[in-house]
Amino acid sequence: MAFRSVGVIGAGQMGNGIAHVFATAGYQVLLTDISDDALADAVQRITKNTARQVAKGHLSEMARADALGRIRTTLDLGEVGGTDLVIEAATEREQVKDQIFSDLAGSLEPHTVLTSNTSSISITRLAAKTDRPERFMGFHFMNPVPLMNLVELIRGIATSEDTYQALLATVQRLGKTPASAEDYPAFIVNRILIPMINEAAYTLYEGVGNVASIDAAMKLGANHPMGPLELGDFIGLDTCLAIMHVLHDGLADTKYRPCPLLVKYVEAGWLGRKSGRGFYDYRGETPVPTR
């Protein structure tokens, strides 16, 4: 089971990064989204990021040109069904993902492997609603995809060994490190990381410290490269909240209760960097804590 062509569904922050790394690794990439603007923005970002790699000596100009030439875009989801490997990288909502796989079903080739870049949702449940649960896996890249070395591989209960081995080999071809995770809510990375961000929000909510002091404490006291509130803004507070809901619902443990302040920020549309405000205000030259 060897993949030559890859279809990426969703051209946002994760999708364009996934397209980027597959193209530079020699795969033919077909990127799709629901608007021309989203696709144009993705291509522009990939063009910029590969130029940065050339400037740093990580990629030759010829290799960059070849990689960019391997990326095509389309608004037709059905076209993606003709690729060897499909990677769904849409928003972290199960209903949206289910609809995408349902819409794609009629155009899939018999050999096509389906994967989801979900950071928390049950792979077994997503796979069971398709016609090929044995050819379905969780394929979770870290953000930003071109820089982060880890990929979580999550098998559903029906995932075949051949599918797992093919995706394991793919991760290695990308030059990244695989981590195999069982199909439990939020897998490994986010099972540990997102509750930490949620606890930082509780620390702010309860007045233990302000935004600046909480982030400084973890950067200087625990040697984290980014404070937890700053990291939450980088990930997207709506994504953090969605993962907390998955943990709380899936594990039925009160320690995973989403912080009310995190809920308020999301209700206000303060989602972090992508919306201009979150735990920090990004509308000026320098981010300013909002509390």
User: Choosing from 117, 120, 190, 198, which is the catalytic residue?
Assistant: 190
Neighbours of 214 (CB within 10 A): 23
Asked which of 157, 181, 205 is the last residue of a domain, the reply is 181
With cut-offs at 50, 70 and 90, classify the pLDDT of residue 41. Answer: very high
Q: Do residues 173 and 205 both lie within one domain?
A: no
User: Choosing from 20, 116, 140, 230, which is the catalytic residue?
Assistant: 140
State the total domains in the chain.
2
122 is annotated as an active-site residue: no
Q: Do residues 143 and 200 both lie within one domain?
A: no
Asked which of 162, 181, 200 is the last residue of a domain, the reply is 181
User: Choosing from 119, 120, 122, 198, which is the catalytic residue?
Assistant: 119
152 is annotated as an active-site residue: yes
**Reported pTM:** 0.90
119 is annotated as an active-site residue: yes
- For residue 234, with 0-12 CB atoms within 10 Å meaning exposed, 13-18 middle and 19 or more buried, which class applies? middle
Q: Do residues 164 and 231 both lie within one domain?
A: no
Q: Do residues 244 and 166 both lie within one domain?
A: no
Report pLDDT digits (tens) over 83-120. Answer: 999 999 998 899 999 999 999 999 999 999 999 999 99
3-state secondary structure the chain: CCCCEEEEECCCHHHHHHHHHHHHCCCEEEEECCCHHHHHHHHHHHHHHHHHHHHCCCCCHHHHHHHHHCEEEECCHHHHCCCCEEEECCCCCHHHHHHHHHHHHHHCCCCCEEEECCCCCCHHHHHHCCCCHHHEEEEEECCCCCCCCEEEEEECCCCCHHHHHHHHHHHHHCCCEEEEECCCCCCCHHHHHHHHHHHHHHHHHCCCCCHHHHHHHHHHHCCCCCCHHHHHHHHCHHHHHHHHHHHHHHHCCHHHCCCHHHHHHHHCCCCEHHHCECCEECCCCCCEECC
Average pLDDT over the chain reads 96
Which residues is 88 bridged to in the sheet? 9, 116
Report pLDDT digits (tens) over 143-201. Answer: 999 999 999 999 999 999 999 999 999 999 999 999 999 999 999 999 999 999 999 99
- Residue 176 CA to residue 194 CA, distance in Å, equals 22
With cut-offs at 50, 70 and 90, classify the pLDDT of residue 265. Answer: very high
Q: Is residue 51 a part of any domain in this protein?
A: yes
Q: Is residue 220 a part of any domain in this protein?
A: yes
The pLDDT value recorded for residue 274 is 93
Question: By the 8 A CB rule, do 181 and 191 touch?
Answer: no
The pLDDT value recorded for residue 2 is 87
What Cα–Cα distance (Å) separates residue 286 from each residue in 79, 173, 276?
43, 39, 12
Q: Do residues 175 and 207 both lie within one domain?
A: no
Q: Do residues 24 and 109 both lie within one domain?
A: yes
Six-digit token string for 156 = 């559903």
Per-residue pLDDT averaged across 17-25, rounded? 98
Q: Is residue 186 a part of any domain in this protein?
A: no
Q: Do residues 237 and 93 both lie within one domain?
A: no
Per-residue pLDDT averaged across 232-250, rounded? 95
Residue 1 in this model has a pLDDT that exceeds 90: no
- Residue 24 CA to residue 241 CA, distance in Å, equals 33
140 is annotated as an active-site residue: yes
Task: Find how far residue 99's CA is from the centre of its chain.
Answer: 18
Domain assignment of residue 272, given as a range: 191-289
The pLDDT value recorded for residue 217 is 98
User: Choosing from 5, 16, 92, 152, which is the catalytic residue?
Assistant: 152
CATH classification of the domain holding 80: 3.40.50.720
Six-digit token string for 103 = 């819409």
